[in-house]
Amino acid sequence: MMSRRFRIPTCSLLTLLSIATCVRAAEPPRSDDWRAAAASYEYGPMGAVAGIGEVFINRRTARGDQLVWRGDLVATAPGARAAVMLNLGGQLALGEGTAVRISEGVIATEGGTRAPILIASLVAGDVVVRLGSQTSAYIEAGGSAFRSTPGAAFRIAVSGSGAVAEASVGEVLAEAPPFLPNCLLSRVRKDVRTGRLVPVTKDINLAKKGVEQIQLLLICDGKPVSGRQIDFLIRPPIGHFHAQTFNTTTDADGIATANFTAGDAVARGQIIATAPGLDVEWISEVTIHGFWTLPKKLAVVAAVGGGVIVCAVKCRPGSGLTTVPPPIFIP
């Protein structure tokens, strides 16, 4: 029998493990950690966000610590604060009423090596950036673009007159932002009667292992764009195209086509499509359900119920009619 002095309460043990995990997660990445993150940055999260007050990720309320993925829009409500820890090295501190879209990448240095870079677009408010020793940043804000040296620490704020950047460590320099056309990526389908393209606004709702064709129209400056790559990402991996990530090219009419196959489990998620090099994206909510959706349940109940009523009226003893058992439905 175990001596009393060696017993450790389960709750205390779990608490110690939780604290140890949180402390390890809060540690900044080591100088060589970014290489593993860069190798898989297209497929995994780029960091995690935690905040005080109302914090949103892609306009949805973030509860507790949540992962942040490439291209996410992180925002804080008035009176709220948030911090984003980056896997590539560094962190962002968002002030109240701030909205910033963040991404990441890898760039070639003058010495021929590769280094991580934070890529962001500050829509409103202010953000304080502290970068890892090898990480630089490129941030667009208020119609201006700013590029920092590796390991820099700086603040960028957007106001009615534009954006201002101030560095406390390293340098942050203003430069002319690249010209980007005004583009729109939207889902469409061809009307069989008129042959015209019509918009599709509903989200994707499929049975398990169901298949749905997705056609996205890319228009820039009012004209369809052909031969442009469109990247698709399923998050979390609740189905597949040919893989969790998939890309295709727009045809002569500016349409990219992809066939999505649902997984074999009930789930919810998103499909996100982007055009590399363009400030455009398309997001659809995806729901994967079993056979017994509400419309099918009502149809089965109506069919079986109707058979019972008819039988109750006509299948009386001596009527010469034989009762037929209701059909068996196998989901």
Task: Transcribe 270-322 into DSSP letters.
Answer: EEEEE-TTSS-EEEEEEEEE-S--HHHHHHHHHHHHHHHHHHHHH--TTSS--
Q: Are the C-beta atoms of residues 242 and 231 closer than 8 Å to each other? A: no
Taking CA atoms, 306 is separated from 309, 311, 324, 327, in Å, by: 5, 9, 13, 12
CA atoms within 13 A on the CB side of 168: 8
| Average pLDDT for 134-146 | 88
- Check residue 291 and give its pLDDT: 60
Distance CA 41, CA 89 (A): 13
Name the strand (E) or helix (H) holding 14: helix 10-26
Let me know: does 131 contact 118? Beta carbons within 8 Å: yes
DSSP state of 6: G
Which of the given ranges, 32-36, 37-41, 207-211, 318-322, has the highest pLDDT on average?
A: 207-211
Position 202 pLDDT exceeds 50: yes
Sign of CA dihedral 108, 114, 118, 120: positive
State yes or no: pLDDT of 23 exceeds 50.
no
Question: Tokens 């089965």 map to which residue?
Answer: 300
Distance in angstroms (rounded) separating the CA atoms of residues 213 and 259: 4
Across 236-260, average pLDDT: 84
What pLDDT is recorded for position 170? Answer: 93
pLDDT score of 298: 53
Rg (CA), the chain: 27
Going from the C-alpha of 151 to that of each of 31, 148, 170, 171, the distances in angstroms are 11, 8, 7, 9
Bridge partners of residue 161, in order along the sequence? none
- Tell me what the mean pLDDT of segment 191-208 comes to: 88
Percent of the chain whose pLDDT exceeds 90 = 37
What is the pLDDT, as a whole number, of residue 167? 94
Q: Residue 96: pLDDT above 60?
A: yes
DSSP 53: S
pLDDT given for residue 25 in this prediction: 36
Q: What is the pLDDT of residue 318?
A: 52
Rounded mean pLDDT, 120-128: 92
pLDDT band at 275 (very low <50, low <70, confident <90, very high): confident
Residue 105: per-residue pLDDT: 82
pLDDT value for 250: 93
Closest C-alpha to 121, from 136, 141, 104, 137:
141
Quick: pLDDT tens for 24-74.
Answer: 333 333 334 444 444 444 457 889 999 999 999 988 888 888 898 888 899
**Cis peptide bond upstream of 78, omega within 30:** no
Domains annotated on the chain, with CATH = 30-175 (2.60.120), 183-289 (2.60.40.10), 294-331 (no CATH)
Cβ neighbors of 155 (< 8 A, separation 6 or more) are: 126, 127, 128, 129, 165, 166, 168
Distance CA 238, CA 117 (A): 30
Task: Give 253's Cβ-side CA count (13 Å radius).
Answer: 11
Most confident stretch, 58-62, 166-170, 234-238 = 166-170
Residue 205 has pLDDT above 70, yes or no: yes
Mean pLDDT confidence for 148-153: 93
Q: Give me the pLDDT at residue 56, please.
A: 92
| Cα-Cα-Cα-Cα dihedral sign, residues 149, 151, 155, 158 | positive
Residues 6 or more apart from 200 whose CB is under 8 A from it? 187, 188, 189
**Rounded percentage of the chain residues whose pLDDT exceeds 70:** 72
Confidence of residue 179 (pLDDT cuts 50, 70, 90): low
What per-residue confidence (pLDDT) applies to 5? 42
At a CB cut-off of 8 Å and minimum separation 6, what does 136 contact? 107, 115, 116, 117, 118, 147, 148, 149, 150, 152
How far is it, in rounded angstroms, from Cα 279 to Cα 101? 11
User: Which residue in 155, 168, 169 sits closest to 125, CA to CA?
Assistant: 155
CB 100 within 8 A of CB 74: yes
Position 279 scores a pLDDT of: 78
Average pLDDT, the chain: 77
Q: Is the pLDDT of residue 303 over 60?
A: no
Amino acid 146: pLDDT? 92
Of 306 and 83, the one with more pLDDT? 83
